[in-house]
A and B are shown apart, each in its own frame.
Chain A
Amino acid sequence: MRETGQSTAGPARPLLLRGGRVIDPSTGTDDVLDVLLVDGEVAALGRGTGEPDGAAVRDVTGLIVCPGLIDVHVHLREPGGEHKETIATGARAAAAGGYTAVCAMPNTDPPVDDPAAVGFVRAQGIRAGTARVWPVGAISLGQQGQRLAQIGEMVDAGAVAITDDGRPVSDAGLMRLALSYARTLGIPVASHCEELALSRGGSMNEGVVSTRLGLIGIPNAAEDVMIARDLMLAELTGGRLHVQHVSTRRGVEMIRQAKARGVPVTAEGTPHHFTLTDAAVDGYRTEAKVNPPLRTAADRAAVVQGIADGTLDVIATDHAPHHYDEKEQAFDDAPFGLVGLETALGLCITELVETGVLSMTALIERMSCAPARAFGLPGGTLRPGSPADVTVFDPAVEWTVDASKFLSRSRNTPFAGRRLHGRNRLTIVGGRTAWEAAPAGTTR
């Protein structure tokens, strides 16, 4: 277990969350219970728990209390892209969305490819003092895809995984080395699976919509061949592979088969891939330009099915903020990516729980427990003694996505104006309130 890496400026007051429906898939708990948090840890769960002296008491009746949500795939843009997001604004947006921890991708400028950069990301996260920020290091030096970065030193400095996300590793030999080396260190290799020779120049899914719009398409095969390669290499090396943002039906199927034969692999589905198809791009909507692209209804259905049966064990956002000037361009010229931290929980409840795809317990498993396991992070459980990272959300409240209210520095969402059910109310990190919704009837 790692150090929790969070600011501890004086002890937090004990906090008693009273009367909520506690769902903790890690312990099989689903019951109305009180949760007592003391000294940054979960102290006790029970009924009619008396509060210790000096404790704050919160009545959370009617709300769901669960292990803090963890997003293993976010882009916080610092250093180098502070006009899009900073570690502080990104961590605040995460806390607002119900996340108690996020994993920051290393494709910054300069990339996070050495221990000093890892230390910087970690320090900025601690300084921000909201959601925990776990650094992810680069696979290759400068993310150039040539030589391994100083992976061991980065892990010593606090990196929890490695990836060349955004600049996928083309060289199969290097990927083999990365998986082998990461196995030694006990960390996963997160892979953005994209064969650049098949995707080059593309800006959306290849299909009838790209043909109509006259945009160069990215075929499913660009993703599928790399998923196939990386699964083979994980099988070869025994290194832990984490497949990021799976968007294709064949990709889901190959991961399902690999898991069945015992390949050490975890995989993500994102809210945008399980909610939208390439039809969202129609009208050249750059806010729906994302990589891997939004695909067809059959692919979307496969991602949903993959999340349902656990093939995609983790739900992650691939939160990718961009300044509005950058998205306000001709479609080809706009960058890939959309923000997701502040809409994910509502989309998951609306699109997966209310439709009967997942139980609320399974959703919390995908958004908290499984991410913690996949990246070896503290949290993902309310077992006494574990970090007091807790999310309290209202599973039923209806709300409309208003991007102008985002705490993220960027607004690039395809979900603006969408009606969602379920919203975060209270985010507790290390026993302290990291974010709290304004009381009903007020606006923040």
Chain B
Amino acid sequence: MSERATFPGKDLIGLESLDAAQICTILDTAEAFKEISERPIKKVPVLRGKTIVNLFFEASTRTRISFEFAEKRLSADTVNIGSTSSSVTKGETLVDTARNLEAMRIDMVVIRHGSSGAAQFLADRIPSNVVNAGDGRHEHPTQGLLDILTIRDHRGRIEGLKVCIIGDVLHSRVARSNIWGLTRLGARVGVCAPRTLLPVAVEELGVEVFDRIEDAMEWADVLNVLRLQFERMQGGFVPSVREYNRLFGVTRERIERTGRDLLILHPGPMNRGVEIDSDVADGPHAVILDQVTNGVAVRMAVLYLLAGGEPERAEAAKREN
């Protein structure tokens, strides 16, 4: 049981409730699973016979496909429920959806929902494992984990690094998961955005606030650049895309001016020329596609551990047929 104690619990709702050892267990397990995706036959029988429902109340391409690959490569049986096909559009409540899924005796649910707390709500009501694939503005823990894994891959450590999250922290579940995960592992975290896009009392989460991107880039070792959603312009949070790019865009000029080897992450999908310029996104500092690759490994690790897999046995589990 001591193995389970390193990542206990039925669900993965967020990184806020995890400690450093638990996060490292997931990252180390993900490290072991990376290799599966490099094989010609990308499949191991780790979750054979397990039934997983991907319940996506919000549109998602990258996260849903990443989870689906992770599940299929672990040999789970999967069903996708999208926002348009969902009975929710017919007025079914979340609690009824949960009960119906449970009645079909599923093992795990991966949920994406527009309301903060929806994953917790589901987890509290069904005995299946629940993985939060993003709930409102709350958390997106597998994204946080894959960001951290990518940073660790490239910098060899997390502790002592300075990571600045740039952009719409207010509406971002990715930002919150990054803040919790990185600070748990001993990184210093900064946030940089117009104050209209920062949540109140964000400093109380243990982060430093930068009003000028130049100061943030001078301070940071790693930049995690958030997508500026176009609805935010309609909401009046920033006056215009052009002005946003001028004040807060991650541009090559700004990177060159620091004269430092910054690592650039972006959770995608990118608005090229808004929060990040193309020559940065495609340039030598960016590790954006590594994040996508790591996403599958991280999700495999989370599903494996929640299904009761022991971290020490991840290597052996991969070899079973």
Q: Which A residues form the contact surface with B (CB < 8 A)? A: 206-208, 210-217, 219, 283-284, 325, 328-333
Contacting pair B200 A283 (CB below 8 A): no
Contacting pair B138 A207 (CB below 8 A): no
Complex alpha-carbon distance, A329 and B120, angstroms: 11
B231: shortest Cβ distance to chain A, in Å?
Answer: 12
Complex alpha-carbon distance, A211 and B115, angstroms: 14
Within 8 Å of chain A (Cβ to Cβ): is B127? no
Within 8 Å of chain A (Cβ to Cβ): is B226? no
Contacting pair A329 B200 (CB below 8 A): no
Contacting pair A331 B204 (CB below 8 A): no
A311: shortest Cβ distance to chain B, in Å?
Answer: 27
Contacting pair A213 B117 (CB below 8 A): yes
Contacting pair B120 A284 (CB below 8 A): yes
Contacting pair B201 A214 (CB below 8 A): no
A-B CB proximity, top 5 nearest: A214-B138, A284-B117, A214-B137, A330-B115, A214-B116
| CB neighbours of B199 from chain A (8 A) | 210-211
Supposing A207-B201, A211-B200, A211-B202 touch, asked if A332 and B136 sit within 8 A by C-beta, the answer is yes
Nearest residue in A to B202 (C-beta to C-beta)? A211
| CB neighbours of A332 from chain B (8 A) | 115-117, 136
* Interface of chain B residues 127 through 153 with chain A (CB within 8 A): 135-139
Supposing A212-B16, A284-B120 touch, asked if A331 and B200 sit within 8 A by C-beta, the answer is no
A sample of 30 cross-chain residue pairs with beta-carbon separation below 8 angstroms, ordered by A number, consists of A208-B200, A208-B201, A208-B204, A208-B205, A210-B199, A210-B200, A211-B200, A211-B201, A211-B204, A211-B205, A212-B16, A213-B138, A214-B135, A214-B137, A214-B138, A214-B139, A214-B173, A215-B137, A215-B138, A216-B137, A283-B120, A284-B116, A284-B117, A284-B120, A328-B93, A328-B95, A329-B93, A329-B95, A330-B116, A331-B116
Q: Which of A208, A284, A325, A333 has the most CB of B within 10 A?
A: A284
Nearest residue in B to A205 (C-beta to C-beta)? B200
Nearest residue in A to B173 (C-beta to C-beta)? A214
B40: shortest Cβ distance to chain A, in Å?
Answer: 41
Complex alpha-carbon distance, A332 and B117, angstroms: 9
Q: Which of B201, B202, B205 has the most CB of A within 10 A?
A: B201
Within 8 Å of chain A (Cβ to Cβ): is B121? yes
Q: Write the B81-120 contact mask toward A (1 if CB under 8 angstroms, else 0).
A: 0000000000001110000000000000000010111101
| CB neighbours of A210 from chain B (8 A) | 199-200
Complex alpha-carbon distance, A332 and B121, angstroms: 12
A298: shortest Cβ distance to chain B, in Å?
Answer: 13
Supposing A214-B137, A215-B137 touch, asked if A330 and B113 sit within 8 A by C-beta, the answer is yes
| CB neighbours of A219 from chain B (8 A) | 200
| CB neighbours of B120 from chain A (8 A) | 283-284
Complex alpha-carbon distance, A216 and B135, angstroms: 13
Contacting pair A214 B93 (CB below 8 A): no
Contacting pair B116 A333 (CB below 8 A): no
A211: shortest Cβ distance to chain B, in Å?
Answer: 4
Within 8 Å of chain A (Cβ to Cβ): is B64? no
Complex alpha-carbon distance, A211 and B176, angstroms: 9
Other A-B contacts than A211-B205, A214-B136, A329-B95, 16 sampled, CB-CB below 8 A, are A206-B200, A207-B200, A211-B199, A212-B16, A212-B205, A213-B116, A213-B138, A214-B135, A214-B139, A214-B173, A215-B136, A215-B138, A284-B120, A331-B115, A331-B116, A333-B115
A140: shortest Cβ distance to chain B, in Å?
Answer: 28
| CB neighbours of B201 from chain A (8 A) | 207-208, 211
Nearest residue in A to B235 (C-beta to C-beta)? A201
Q: Write the B159-179 contact mask toward A (1 if CB under 8 angstroms, else 0).
A: 000000000000001001000
Complex alpha-carbon distance, A219 and B201, angstroms: 12
Complex alpha-carbon distance, A325 and B117, angstroms: 17
| CB neighbours of B176 from chain A (8 A) | 212, 214
| CB neighbours of B94 from chain A (8 A) | 329-330
Q: Which of B116, B117, B120 has the most CB of A within 10 A?
A: B117
Give which listed residue, A214, A217, A328, A333, contacts B200 with CB less than 8 A: A217
Give which listed residue, A213, A217, A325, contacts B93 with CB less than 8 A: A325
| CB neighbours of A328 from chain B (8 A) | 93, 95
Supposing A214-B137, A284-B116 touch, asked if A330 and B121 sit within 8 A by C-beta, the answer is yes
Complex alpha-carbon distance, A302 and B50, angstroms: 54
| CB neighbours of A333 from chain B (8 A) | 115
| CB neighbours of A208 from chain B (8 A) | 200-201, 204-205
* Interface of chain B residues 171 through 215 with chain A (CB within 8 A): 173, 176, 199-202, 204-205
Nearest residue in A to B171 (C-beta to C-beta)? A214
Contacting pair A330 B137 (CB below 8 A): no
| CB neighbours of B118 from chain A (8 A) | 330
A432: shortest Cβ distance to chain B, in Å?
Answer: 43
| CB neighbours of A329 from chain B (8 A) | 93-95, 121
B109: shortest Cβ distance to chain A, in Å?
Answer: 15
| CB neighbours of A212 from chain B (8 A) | 16, 176, 205
Complex alpha-carbon distance, A273 and B26, angstroms: 41
Complex alpha-carbon distance, A217 and B199, angstroms: 9
Complex alpha-carbon distance, A92 and B195, angstroms: 50
| CB neighbours of A217 from chain B (8 A) | 200
B113: shortest Cβ distance to chain A, in Å?
Answer: 7
Complex alpha-carbon distance, A210 and B205, angstroms: 12
Nearest residue in B to A328 (C-beta to C-beta)? B95
Complex alpha-carbon distance, A131 and B118, angstroms: 40
B281: shortest Cβ distance to chain A, in Å?
Answer: 27
Nearest residue in B to A330 (C-beta to C-beta)? B115
Complex alpha-carbon distance, A219 and B199, angstroms: 12
Complex alpha-carbon distance, A214 and B16, angstroms: 12
Complex alpha-carbon distance, A240 and B136, angstroms: 43
B37: shortest Cβ distance to chain A, in Å?
Answer: 31
